[in-house]
Amino acid sequence: MAARPKRQPQKDAPLPATPLAAQQRALQEQERKVRERMEKCQRLLEDAPKLAAERAKEQREELIRRAARTVKGGGAALPDRRYGLEANVAAPAQQRRMRAERRQGRLMFFVLLLTLAAAVCYLYYTVTQG
């Protein structure tokens, strides 16, 4: 008698509908999902340094654009007050003008106050003497 070779089960063939076979299919499906997730995470880990470098480059370029816009005086960006007079050459003249305007405003306030006081005194004496 010749020995017959053992039949190996085909992997693609459907398994019989037993609880053990159903559990095996569920485990195979779960294993496939885990492998896909692992591959996705691996790709993410490989791409992370590239993405971080691109993000840092974009941030540097944005800062350079903002700085160039501030220095040129495009008007869109406000001058950075941390760096004093170097970034904003016209600042001292504006401060002097603002002080002069405040002084003039104070003087105008006192003149109007005195005028109001004089009007109140005039009305008081006219009404009481009248």
Give the single-character DSSP code of 76.
S
Q: Would you kindly state where each structural domain of the chain is located, as residue ranges?
A: 18-88, 90-130
Do residues 32 and 40 lie in contact, with contact meaning Cβ atoms separated by under 8 Å?
A: no
Work out the average pLDDT over 15-21: 80
More confident residue, 113 or 10: 113
| Dihedral, 30, 31, 32, 36 alpha carbons, nearest 10 | 100
- Residue 127: pLDDT band (50, 70, 90) is very high
More confident position, 77 or 105: 105
